[in-house]
Every structure is written in structure tokens, then in C-alpha cells.
Amino acid sequence: MPTPSKDPRPFKRAILKLSGEALREPGSTDNISPEIVQRIASEIKEAIDTGLQLGIVVGGGNFWRGASASARGMDRATADYVGMLATVMNALAIEGALSHIGVKCTVMSAIEMKNVAEPFIRRKAEHQLDKGTVIIFAAGTGSPFFSTDTTAALRASEMGADVILKATQVDGVYCSDPRKNPDAKRFDTVTFQHCLENRLNVMDATAFSLCMDNDIPIVIFDLGPNGNLSHALRSQPIGTLVHGE
């Protein structure tokens, strides 16, 4: 396995990327599972109590997927704006669960909606992180045609984060698709360059380029098992670390 030249663990400031689907019980018709959100909030609190500074970017796929709606004939920009609003609903659910257990947090939206969220202002967000407030970044980048993976990479760059923690449904990066190849091997660590050369899907191209250009390591891990999120947030080895040379 490749050996990282710069392992961010233990890290002080992280961006956690959650998919919208992570908030939904598999097979359920409910868009958000309060139990899952509460479990995520509890594991976040464990890490915050150790002094971690945390920003969260959440997707909206449990409500809406702009690319899918566009493929069915909807104007892409409009479809993406609908998706951005879906992320705000998820962000508010996470904020409510964190607040309920005493975690200081706030939602900052890239689209102004002053009755439910603060506007995203970079300097203010940095100041809040320094004070220990969890920032939940909502509404994507505020512009269509960009994924929430790209939002995570952008906010990590703006906030000077040490790492992006990408919670997924797989336990890391493999040399090939483990669903098609039972002999696929999982990497403990892998370089950006190796991912590019072997077309390993880590993030979309825009997000991946941002991380690579700004030397922001990415940890890919499985959110499913209880305790995994807490391990990732507390800098414990888990999943796959994607890093620079």
C-alpha cells in the first residue's frame, strides 16, 4: 500500500461530508429518520467534546436529485436549485438534533433565507469554528451545476480544514468495484495521482481537483456501523486516506 507523506491525523479542523441518503432508513419511505440523525449527532458530540473544530456539508439526495430531474426534462439550473433547498432541510434536521444534546451549532446557507439560516460569510464561519461552534453548510455552493462533494472541497479550502471526512456506504477506496469483483483490494492509503491514473472514484472531478490542488487529504469511510463516525472524527484510522505525494 502507498504510504502517505502527510497524514492529517490527529487533525484540529475537519469538514464532514454527509449524503442526504445517510439520513434515511434504508427501505423507508420517510425522507429523514430522526433516530439516524440523533445517532449521528451523538457521535459528533463525542468528537466535539475533545476539541475538534467541525464543519458539515450535507447533500439533499433523500429529497431530490437535480441531475436525475434534468435527465427527465427539467431545466438543469432549476433542478439544481431545488436540490440546494433540499440540503437546507437536512441541515436544519442536523442542527436540531445537535442543539438538543447541547452542541453549539448553526446553519449557514449559500442562498439567503434569513428566517431559517445565517448567510454564509467566510470570515464569520472561521470565527465561529474557532469558538467551537459546529457550522452546517447548506444550499451547496449557491450556484447550479456543482455537487455537494464540490461544496465540501470548497468549504474545506476556504476554512483551512486539515481533512475532509467523506461518509459513504462503502468502507474505503478499492482497486476495482468490490460489487463486481469479489477479489478487489481495499487501500488503507492511496495518493491522488494513483486515483487519477486508475480512475478510482473518490469524488467528482471538480471536487477531487480542488482537494488535490489545495493538498487537502480525504478520508473515505462507511457511515453505517455504529461508532464509525466517532472513530473518523476522533482521528482514528478508518477507511481509506487519500493524500498527496
C-alpha 105: how far from chain center: 16
**Where do the structural domains in the chain lie, given as residue ranges?**
13-243
Is 109 annotated to bind ligand?
A: no
Tens of pLDDT, residue by residue over 40-54, are: 999 999 999 999 999
Report field, pTM of the whole predicted structure over 0.85: yes
Residue 29 annotated in ligand binding: no
Per the annotation, does 61 bind a ligand? yes
* 19 annotated as belonging to a binding site for a ligand: yes
Which amino acid is it at 36?
Answer: I
pLDDT at 245 over 80: no
Q: Which fold has domain 13-243?
A: Carbamate kinase (3.40.1160)
Q: Do the annotations mark residue 199 as ligand-binding? A: no
Confidence band for 201, pLDDT divided at 50, 70 and 90: confident
Set of cell numbers at residue 121: 460569510
Q: Per-residue pLDDT for 126 more than 70?
A: yes
CA distances for 129 relative to 51, 94, 132, angstroms: 11, 17, 5
Contacts of 105 (CB under 8 A, 6+ apart): 94, 95, 98, 99, 133, 134, 135, 136
Establish whether 157 is an annotated binding residue. no
Is residue 133 a known part of a binding site? no
